[in-house]
Amino acid sequence: MTKTHFGVLLAPYSAEMHVGELPNVAPDQLLLKMEMCNICTEDYQRWLGLREFNKPMADGHEYTGIIIEKGRNVSDIYQIGDRVGRLNDHCGVCEDCRRGLSSDCQNTGPKMGIGLEDYYGQKAFADYKIIPQRLAVRISNEIPAPQAAFLEPLATVIAGIKRLHIKPLETVVVIGAGPMGLLNAQVAKIYGANVIITELVPKKILRGKSLGIGEVVDSSRFEPEKEVLRLTKGVGADAIIFAVGNSIAYQQGYKMLKKLRGRMLFFAANYPKPELDCDPNDIHYRKMELIGTYNADNADFFDAANMLSNGIIDVSTSLEGQVFPLREYAKAMETASMADYRISVDCQGT
């Protein structure tokens, strides 16, 4: 048995660190000494009471850890000292999983993770954690831990970009230069797009420009629809990525699209729910595509691990640069709810 400390959300604005025991490592399992867990939008929206959640919630899913023990049946692929993240939970046996659509699996419950069965969530804001080897994804030990913890969010971005079917030299507009907007912009560029970012917050505009991958439109000074048309010589964008869930952003993106066969990818959700006002007849005659994306399939996680490990993408711009010890879990949540970029929790800071 391994003692573990872990963060628990009891109610909006109420979080504690609890102590529990993990079971012995089974033959096909890995024991991780957790390094870092970044705070996702979903995490702090629960903290703010904007999202309902099961209680007590011990979650966290943007993490990385070091293997310190492995079961006797674990493959030699995984060695003591390796850094790993994990795939999203999926059963592996349903038709969706076996078709490669692990993100569509319906056979996962609210009490994920191994051990600590009285708690909901993945129990990843913790100093130790057990995962099955089939969910482990290796990431280079050479990159900073907060960046390695971007495995899951980067995988979701890759999944969305694949759904857009970007062709080289197409114009893709990313609305929003927050942490996920910057990731979307970089991955769209890797897939061959000419990227335009629109943003109105000065700090985020500077972050967008620091990437050096395309034009950044200051929406506080210019009408972004007109600027996109100007930059595309009146043609408009081939595709829009909504990296913010915002009714005004939806209206802007709708007006930025080229006349025919434009695509809109709805990457971000938001609470309270934003509104989408569009003409179904317009969608019909202009042959537009409205694409939803959520979660990621197994292949997307391995693509993300490759990008991170080989320095193909720079996720440092999506970090606020603040790290809180696990014992300050509540303070970390409060800070994350007000920050522009990801806040990290040092899982060994008990």
Query: pLDDT-derived band of residue 24, with 50, 70 and 90 as boundaries?
Result: very high
- Both tokens of 198, joined, read 């629109």
Instruction: Quote the mean pLDDT of the chain.
Output: 96
- Please check the confidence at residue 17 and state whether its pLDDT lies above 90: yes
Mean pLDDT of 16-20: 96
β-strands 29-38, 128-132 pairing: antiparallel
Does residue 146 sit in the same domain as residue 183?
Answer: no
Q: What is the pLDDT of residues 80-96, one digit of tens each?
A: 999 999 999 999 999 99
Are 137 and 161 in a shared domain?
A: no
Go through 308-337 and write b for each residue having 16 or more CB atoms within 10 A of its CB, e for each that does not: bbeeebbbebbbbeebbebebbbebbbbbb
What pLDDT, on the 0 to 100 scale, is given for residue 110? 72
Two structure tokens written together for 97:
């999983």
Hey, how many other C-beta atoms are within 10 angstroms of the C-beta on 346? 20
The boundaries of the domain holding residue 182 are 155-292
Same domain for 169 and 279, yes or no, is: yes
Provide the CATH number for the domain around residue 273: 3.40.50.720
Q: Tell me, what's the pLDDT at 254? A: 95
User: Are 18 and 53 in contact, with CB atoms under 8 Å apart?
Assistant: no
Structural domain contains residue 302? no
For residue 303, being part of any structural domain is answered with: no
Structure confidence by residue, pLDDT tens digits, 178-230: 999 999 999 999 999 999 999 999 999 999 999 999 999 999 999 999 999 99
What is the average per-residue pLDDT within 227-240?
98
Q: Is the pLDDT of residue 6 over 80?
A: yes
pLDDT tens track for 253-267:
999 999 999 999 999
> Are residues 54 and 119 located together in one domain of the fold?
yes
Residue 270 domain-assigned (yes or no): yes
Cα 16 to Cα 11, 45, 64, 123, distances in angstroms: 10, 17, 21, 13
Any domain includes 90: yes
Look at residue 247 and tell me if it is in a domain: yes
pLDDT tens, position by position, 38-54: 999 999 999 999 999 99
The least confident of 248-252, 271-275, 330-334 is: 271-275
What pLDDT, on the 0 to 100 scale, is given for residue 109? 75
- In this prediction, residue 296 carries a pLDDT of 97
Residue 306 counted as domain residue: no
pLDDT given for residue 272 in this prediction = 85
For residue 272, say if its preceding peptide bond is cis, omega within 30 degrees of 0. yes
Q: Write the pLDDT tens digit of every residue in 97-136.
A: 999 999 999 998 777 788 999 999 999 999 999 999 999 9
Report the alpha-carbon distance of residue 173 to residue 252 in Å, rounded: 11
Q: Are residues 163 and 274 in the same domain?
A: yes
Q: Please report whether residue 299 resides in a domain.
A: no
Decide if 194 is inside a domain. yes
Whole-number pLDDT of residue 121: 94
Same domain, 42 and 83: yes
Are residue 196 and residue 261 in the same domain, yes or no? Answer: yes
Domain holding 94: CATH number?
3.90.180.10
Global pTM reads: 0.96
Tens-place pLDDT, residues 134-172: 999 999 999 999 999 999 999 999 999 999 999 999 999
d(CA 350, CA 346): 9
Burial label for 52, CB within 10 Å (0-12, 13-18, 19+), is exposed
How many domains are there within the chain? 2
Shared domain check, 42 and 11: yes
Say yes or no: 9 and 120 in one domain: yes
Q: Give the integer Cα–Cα distance in Å for 77 and 82.
A: 10
Residues 57 and 87 in one domain: yes
Return the closest-CA partner of residue 64 out of 7, 142, 11: 142
Do 283 and 338 have their domain in common? no
Residues 250 and 283 occupy one common structural domain? yes
Residue 271 has pLDDT above 90, yes or no: no
Residue 5, pLDDT > 80, answer yes
